[in-house]
Structure 1
Amino acid sequence: MSEPATQYYHHGRFKFAGGTLPNAITAYRTEHAVPPLSSCPWHAETTSPGQAYLVGQGKALDTTKYFVVTFALFSNGESSSPSNTPVPYNGPYFPHVSYEDNIRAQYAVLTKKLGVQTLHMVVGFSMGGQQAYYWATVYPEFVERFVCICGSARTSPHNKCFLEGPKAALVASKDFEGGHYTSPPQHGIRAFGRVYSAWAYGQTWFREQQYLHVGGENTYPDMETWMRENWEGRFLARWDANDMLTLLKTWQTGDISLVRDGGDYPKALAAIKAKGLVMPGKTDLYFPPEDSEIEISHMTNGAKLAVIDTVWGHFAGGGSNTKDTDFITAQIKQFLEETS
């Protein structure tokens, strides 16, 4: 089955946390099988269209029942990004983007273009999971439910510190040129990927996989091959360096309490009205379950915690293996039944 076509919404002049763009663009996809739109008010929020493993007939986001909208974050290379924005806001001149900026832009697409009046549920993994929290905070009367998979309502100091590692590896490379490169800065992107690699998986995954079994196949004979092909190669093929840095800063500055409660994190969590399902990965080094437990303790609207018992670390929430995907799917379906 082919993927739905990517569509583009032109906002005109749009204000970001770090400046403006004269014509900001949000990329999105829609998928549904039940007209009219008003009868299936569903919104699935992800960082990019790569969350397709949750979308489709019989899946967690069943397109025979719901209208599904998938958004691309600013700076992911599809929506407005340093790599696709013309001068004078190209490359390193692209403004800083917050999660709130993304939510405001996506809200415009939903309400002005698609005519959505209520979000039945917002679902997201990783940065998309953080966006799910933002949806419930920025538009509390618009969102009925949210699901955060391997994400958080605030980026932890530990996480911020880690992100400085791949950032430093990239910007200090001899070919990054302060963001003014004219060809992909291979040295910097390769270094970025290597620094990132171990944190994507839990320690148990490394012990069990021994770098050999990725995606169910005996693909990588040793760790060096795994890092070169799965991390250096993937980042070089898919990502622009300035795009990565802009996304990284969005991630680093995530904190729902800055939206309306002046930094009072417990107060911001307690104010969430939407019903929530929070699913951290047991071995996730980015968003550990302990952080999710703290968040749940402050939410007063019956939020549910469901820890993914996994060895796959952060990738448990990204469709990396059948066991974890089945667990996530079952939890989302149960959450819908319990809250309907």
Structure 2
Amino acid sequence: MSVSSGSFALGDVELQCGRTIPQAQLSYCSFGTLNGERSNAVLYPTSYGAHPGDIDWVVGPVLNPDRHFIVIVNMLGNGLSSSPSDGVMGLAETGWVVSHRDNVSAQRRLLREQFGIERLAMIYGWSMGAQQGYQWAVDHPEAVERLCCLCGTARTSPHNQLFLLSLRQALTADPHWTGEGFDGEPLQGLCTFALIYASWAASQRFYGEGHHLAEGPISLGDYVETRWLPAYRRHDPRNLIAMLDTWLAHDVAAGAPHQGDLAAALGSIRARTAVVAGRHDLYFTVDDMATEAALIPGAQFEVIESVLGHRAGNPRDSPPEQAQLRAAVERLWALPSPL
């Protein structure tokens, strides 16, 4: 299997918010070989806080690099592509918010200019990756043949926004917050951040059935400190906030041409679409995802039976959920391209 990585120079990029990222760059990695017709490309945008090494386990168990050219692209703000930690971007406090439309625009340039790809055989995305997939299919319906959205919605719900605001408040309430950034590591804020994340990302049943004790007896506090906190301490906290702001603002129908009409936006999707929810996902509920799926012409709606909660869409160490995802993807591949 061919594996490569790189950084694509975008030049100065004007964002939807009106700010400009000087000499922006997009980090990516790829698996497999692009065929001569450039018709076998699969895009996998990153999720919140994820780097490729966190999600590339899907290559093989779910996505086949012998058949497809799989490109994992780091969203703007995640620390690998252009981010506040580079000193080229600020936060919402100073008028900076990256939208998923900005991410999609940058990704489209990467695919076109770096690889000559005009049409994607599939977009596969989990969580914020699914959000980017929806944005792609709405903004460029002629360029997406298949869309697989896992545990993510086309618009961030008010309840989901409350969760995100609590995370943001955890960081900005830290004594090291200056109003625009941090003058030291906000460890107190990060500990609270990890507690909130741990309580939402896994389901009530996950904890009730003792799955957090799989590696031995441990207190809930120690579980969060050892299994969750390190995942966030590795990030510059400004990047964590920037990605939260992207998630908070997510709405595929915002602005022209749909002007907030979600039904019209999702109704414009031409891709063969699979919407896959997690039975116990607290972020993106089965009801919310089913409601959106019903607005997409011909979309298939499925539910993963799992106690993993939101992480059912990224089951790195759980073969049963991997098998369910693989089956959903294979059903989508079996459908003819609509384009």
Task: State if a TM-score over 0.5 links the two structures.
Answer: yes
**C-alpha separation in 2, matches of 1:189 and 1:122:** 32
User: 1:127, 1:151 within 8 Å by CA — same for their partners in 2?
Assistant: yes
Helix, strand or coil for the counterpart of 2:323? helix
SS in 2 for 1:44: strand
1:4 to partner: Cα distance:
3.8
Cα pair distance change 1:94/1:24, threshold 3 Å = farther
Q: Partners in 2 of 1:80 and 1:187 — Cα distance?
A: 26
In structure 2, C-alpha distance between the alignment counterparts of 1:45 and 1:110, rounded to whole Å: 12
Note if contact 1:41-1:67 (Cα within 8 Å) is conserved in structure 2.
yes
1:137-190: CA deviation from partner (whole Å, max 9, x where unpaired): 111111111000000111111101111111111101112222432432211222
Distance 1:277 1:223 in 2: 36
For 2:9 and 2:38, the matched residues in 1 are separated by: 23
Pair 1:251-2:255 in alignment: no
Match of 2:325, SS state, is: helix
1:290 to 2:287 alignment: yes
TM-score normalized by the length of structure 2:
0.91
* Equivalent position of 2:40 in the other structure: 40
User: Which residue of 67, 73, 76 corresponds with 1:74?
Assistant: 76
The 3-state SS of whatever aligns with 1:61 is: coil
For residues 141-180 of structure 1, the aligned pairs below 5 Å read 141-180=142-181
Query: Displacement of 1:94 after TM fit?
Result: 8.0
Q: Which runs of 5 or more residues in structure 2 are unaligned?
A: none
Letter in 2 for 1:120: A
2:122 counterpart residue number: 121
Q: Which stretch shifts more, 250-259 or 304-313?
A: 250-259
1:51 corresponding residue in structure 2: 55
Aligned partners of 1:54 and 1:329 also within 8 Å: no
Is the CA contact 1:132–1:146 (under 8 Å) kept in the aligned structure 2? yes
Secondary structure of the residue that 2:335 maps to in structure 1? helix
Please give the per-residue CA displacement for 1:86-136, whole angstroms capped at 9, x wherever unaligned: 5xx467768210000000000000001110021000000000011110110
Residues in 1 aligned to 2:63 and 2:46: alpha-carbon distance in whole angstroms = 12
Instruction: Give the distance between the partners of 1:335 and 1:179, measured in 2 at CA.
Output: 44
Aligned runs of 1:142-291 on 2, under 5 Å?
142-209=143-210, 211-213=212-214, 217-218=215-216, 221-236=218-233, 238-259=234-255, 260-291=257-288
**1:308 maps to which residue?**
304
2:320 pairs with one of 294, 313, 323: 323
Give the Cα–Cα distance (whole angstroms) in 2 for the partners of residues 118 and 180 of structure 1: 39
Could you tell me which runs of 5 or more consecutive residues in structure 1 were left unpaired when the two chains were aligned. none
What corresponds to 1:140 in structure 2? 141
The alpha carbon displacement at 1:17 in A equals: 2.3
Given the alignment of the two structures, is residue 24 of structure 1 paired with residue 24 of structure 2, yes or no? yes
The offset of 1:22, in angstroms, is 1.4
Work out the CA distance in 2 between the residues paired with 1:258 and 1:75. 21
Partner in structure 1 of residue 86 of structure 2: 84
Alpha carbons of structure 1 residues 251 and 287: separation in structure 2 relative to 1, 3 Å: same
Cα displacement (A) at 1:338: 3.0
CA distance in structure 2 between the partners assigned to 1:161 and 1:268 by the alignment: 24
User: What percentage of aligned pairs have identical amino acids?
Assistant: 31
**1:241, distance to aligned residue in structure 2 (A):** 0.8
Three-state SS of the structure 2 residue aligned to 1:211 is helix
Give the one of 42, 61, 64 matched to 1:62. 64
Tell me the CA shift for residue 233 of structure 1: 2.6
Which region of structure 1 is more displaced relative to structure 2, 135-144 or 184-193? Answer: 184-193
Q: Does 1:338 align with 2:332?
A: no
Q: Could you give the per-residue CA deviations for residues 190-224 of structure 1, whole angstroms, max 9, x where no partner exists?
A: 221112210001111111125312xxx33x51211
What is residue 101 of structure 1 aligned with on the other side? 102
Q: Distance in 2 between matches of 1:25 and 1:169?
A: 29
Q: 1:37 deviation in Å?
A: 6.1
- Choose 245-254 or 290-299, whichever is displaced more: 290-299
Which AA in structure 2 matches 1:256?
V
Within 2, Cα distance between the matches of 1:23 and 1:34?
28
Deviations 1:208-257 (A, max 9, x none): 125312xxx33x51211101111223211x21111011100100111111
The residue type paired with residue 117 of structure 1 is E
